[in-house]
Amino acid sequence: MQLQDILYSQGFGTRRVCAGLIQQGLVQVYPSLDSSVPLSCTDSAAEFVAQDLRFRVQGADWPYHEKAYLMLHKPLATECSQKPSTYPSIYTLLPSPLRLRPQKGAVQGVQAVGRLDQDTSGLLLLTDDGKFIHRMSSPRHHVPKVYEVTVRHALDEKQLQKLLCGVVLDDDPKPVMAAAAERVAEHHLRLTLTQGKYHQVKRMVAAVSNRVEALHRSQIGGLRLPEELAPGHWRWLSQTDLAGIAA
């Protein structure tokens, strides 16, 4: 695969822009997986095996990924939208190549797998793999999501049982049940859901006569948000991470 095409596939601009970066000496390539020193390459048509290739563009190291899979620790006061209405977009937290990765159709760059409200923090997945987004978002797959919920009033066993047995939301006559509901502390509820209805956690908590004061998503499937990943920071998902989501 030509180096200019590799850079293009990773979101570094049009093929002409990528060729220009290479010809200006702004791109270096690591000759092997265990290399610590990259080598300069000014030939935009130079052929490389893209899989597992590492390169440096304008001083920043990048690993080649045929498809991008990321986790982001979404901070409060951000919106999961390309065109936010009030708060900054989560996409401003990502480097431009991830926002510019080419895709078929009008959509460009990685996209959030589902959404978290502006007042909700926690684990958010992003990818440019449409099949992965569909699989994770489809209610047929029942991917569990764990939320740490701070509530206004003290929790009691009756509220937990109602959440587990099912509560009726105003847009659906069929009761909506939590997969798990744990009283961690007097005002701390750990709630596991396998659905993704609009404002579901807040509405379910309201249905048992309580109120959400703070909301944080800590886990998707078997993948937990790492404690060391600070709000606003992101990292690539490893194959182990991807396998853990379905675990």
Positions marked active-site: 117
Residue 79 β-bridge partners: 89
Closest Cα to residue 194, out of 147, 241, 156, 159? Answer: 147
Euclidean distance between CA atoms 64 and 58, whole angstroms: 16
Apex 13 CA angle, 12 and 19, nearest 5: 90
Reading the block at residue 165, the tokens are 């047995």
The SS3 assignment for 40 reads: strand
| H runs (alpha helix) in 105-167 | 130-137, 157-165
Cβ pair 124, 131 in contact under 8 A: no
Rounded to whole angstroms, the maximal C-alpha distance in the chain is 69
The SS3 assignment for 47 reads: strand
Question: What are the respective helix, strand and coil percentages of the chain, to the nearest 5?
Answer: 25, 30, 45
